[in-house]
């Protein structure tokens, strides 16, 4: 078990900056998720930690020891790959034991650990099969077994569930969470799926274009996104944004004019905006209300997606933006209806032109 420190980490590929100046601390035993759109550098960052790529600048410390120039096998890491990467010519038993044999451990000790890992992952009856005789979920478990038998200081997961179908993914997610609880080892988990990020992480690192946009607990990111990118990325359905102008501010609230004319006083935490300043207002689809008081936006409902337990309604606002609303019961809105959505002020986010969020209360 170990903590992890990344300082000023940089990676260039053929002149293109993939990782730009990443500083990050991951505490001992923490479950940390790297999340971001494809191409944001999250997998590269993980591979830098693993030692599969060499850094172009900066340093990596694992458990207080400088590992920047060390080979993967000296770093005390174990990695689970997206494609499983099982050795096809070896049985499950050989696959799992490979890492220990590479360390030249004693045969009896290897066998004992192998049995224990197989028991934890329910692989005991499959030990003598070849990878091609296993299902996707079983292969994934073998890949995890191969990692845990080495008792590494840090586990690295590179999108381990993205090749599984939806139901199996949910199941494996729970198994990985359980594994973390029982092993209490530091884990770094890369995913593009923000549901996985929210459900598994102690802390989420949101990456974009090789930079860390924000680091925080799932709820922190959900409630206090630091900028437009994080606000748009975190959340099962994307946050609604529209352009507004500040009317006045008094340090506790910033009043903005909504499309359609209504004014909305958004509570903020010690922040102000110049009258007339252009801002972006953000509100999550699940916070828009059909009933209620206060400011609202009206417009025709253009599309309704019926999900049974809820509806996703798309409303065309007077300024032309399309607003998404999650209505918690099915069947309430139909396409073509005139809609009216209320914006609870405390659920609104404000962002400046450069994307930085105005601090919120609560």
Partner 1 sequence: MIRLARHLGFALLLLAIGAFALFPFYHALVTSFRSGSFLFVPAMLPEALDPRNYELVFTQQDFGRTILNSVLVAATVTGVSLVLAVGAAYALGRVRFRGRYALLLTILGVSMFPQIAVLSGMFELIRALGLYDTLPGLMLANLMLTLPFTIWVLTTFMRELPKELEEAAYADGASALTVVTRVLLPLLWPALAPTALLAFIVSWNEFLFALTFTLSEETRTVPVAIALLSGGSRQELPWGLVMAASTVVTIPIVALVVAFQRKIVSGLTAGAVKG
Spatial neighbors of 198 by CB under 8 A, at least 6 apart, are 204, 218, 222, 234
Residue 88 binds partner 1 (CB under 8 A): yes
C-alpha to C-alpha distance for 11 and 56, rounded to whole angstroms: 5
Q: Are the beta carbons of 344 and 287 closer than 8 angstroms?
A: yes
In this complex, which beta carbon is closest to partner 1, that of residue 8 or of residue 87? 87
Nearest residue to 139 via CA among 95, 176, 179, 171? 95
- Tokens 């099915």 found at: 330
Among 12, 17, 25, 52, binds partner 1 (CB under 8 A): 52
Residue of the chain from 31, 34, 84, 189 that contacts partner 1 (CB under 8 A): 84
Under rule CB under 8 A, residue 78 binds partner 1: yes
Least Å from the CB of residue 186 to partner 1: 15
Within 17-36, the residues that bind partner 1 by CB under 8 A are none
In the set 4, 19, 35, 77, which binds partner 1 (CB under 8 A)? Answer: 77
Contact 185, 153 (CB under 8 A): yes
Question: What is the Cα–Cα distance from 280 to 243, expressed in whole angstroms?
Answer: 5
Q: Does 51 bind partner 1 (CB under 8 A)?
A: yes
* Residue from 16, 38, 64, 71 in contact with partner 1 (CB under 8 A): 71
> How many separate helices (H) and strands (E) can be counted in the chain?
8, 19
Give least dist CB 78 to partner 1, A.
6
Cα angle 277, 259, 293 (rounded to 5 degrees) comes to 110
Q: Which CB sits closer to partner 1, 118 or 288?
A: 118
Closer by beta carbon to partner 1, 83 or else 237 = 83
How near is the Cβ of 79 to partner 1 at its closest, in Å? 4
Q: Which of 32, 55, 67, 86 binds partner 1 (CB under 8 A)?
A: 86
Interface residue with partner 1 among 102, 243, 307, 356 (CB under 8 A) is: 102
Q: Footprint of partner 1 on residues 122-141 (CB under 8 A)?
A: 130-134, 136, 139
Residues 140-169 that bind partner 1 (CB under 8 A): 143, 146, 150, 156, 163
User: Between residues 155 and 229, which has the closer beta carbon with respect to partner 1?
Assistant: 155
Residues 211-240 that bind partner 1 (CB under 8 A): none
Look at the alpha carbons of 68, 74, 75, 79 in this order and tell me if their dihedral is positive or negative: positive
Residue 15 exposure: Cα atoms within 13 Å on the Cβ side = 0
131: how many CB neighbours lie within 10 A of its CB? Answer: 19
Paired with 225 in beta bridges are: none
Cα→Cα distances 265→94, 149, 185, Å: 64, 56, 46
List interacting residues with partner 1 (CB under 8 A): 50-52, 71-73, 77-79, 81-89, 98-99, 102-103, 130-134, 136, 139, 143, 146, 150, 156, 163
């Amino acid at each position: 078990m170990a903590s992890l420190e990344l300082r000023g980490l940089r990676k260039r590929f053929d002149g293109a900056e993939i990782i730009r100046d990443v500083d990050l601390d991951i505490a001992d035993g923490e479950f940390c998720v790297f999340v971001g759109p494809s191409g944001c550098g999250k997998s590269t960052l993980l591979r830098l930690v693993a030692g599969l790529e060499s850094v172009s600048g900066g340093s990596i410390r694992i458990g207080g020891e400088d590992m920047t120039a060390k080979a993967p096998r000296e770093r005390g890491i174990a990695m689970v790959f997206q494609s499983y990467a099982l050795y096809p010519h070896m049985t499950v038993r050989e696959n799992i034991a490979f890492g220990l044999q590479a360390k030249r451990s004693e045969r009896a000790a290897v066998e004992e650990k192998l049995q224990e890992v197989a028991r934890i992952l329910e692989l005991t009856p499959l030990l003598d099969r070849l990878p091609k005789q296993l299902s996707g979920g079983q292969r994934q478990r073998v890949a995890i077994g191969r990692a845990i038998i080495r008792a590494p200081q840090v586990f690295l997961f590179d999108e381990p569930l993205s090749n599984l179908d939806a139901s199996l993914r949910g199941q494996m997610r729970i198994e990985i969470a359980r594994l973390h609880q029982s092993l209490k080892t530091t884990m770094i988990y890369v995913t593009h799926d923000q549901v996985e990020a929210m459900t598994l992480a102690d802390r989420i690192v949101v990456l974009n274009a090789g930079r860390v946009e924000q680091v925080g607990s799932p709820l922190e990111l959900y409630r206090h996104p630091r900028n437009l990118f994080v606000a748009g990325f975190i959340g099962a359905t994307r946050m609604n944004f529209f352009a507004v102008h500040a009317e006045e501010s008094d340090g506790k609230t910033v009043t903005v004019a909504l499309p359609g004319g209504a004014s909305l006083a958004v509570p903020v935490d010690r922040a102000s905006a110049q009258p007339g300043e252009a801002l972006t207002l953000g509100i999550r689809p699940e916070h828009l209300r059909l009933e209620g008081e206060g400011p609202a936006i009206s417009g025709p409902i253009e599309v309704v997606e019926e999900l049974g337990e809820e509806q996703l309604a798309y409303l065309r606002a007077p300024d032309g933006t399309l607003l998404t609303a999650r209505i918690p019961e099915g069947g309430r809105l139909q396409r073509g209806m005139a809609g009216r959505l209320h914006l609870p002020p405390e659920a609104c986010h404000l962002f400046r032109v450069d994307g930085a969020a105005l601090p919120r209360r609560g």
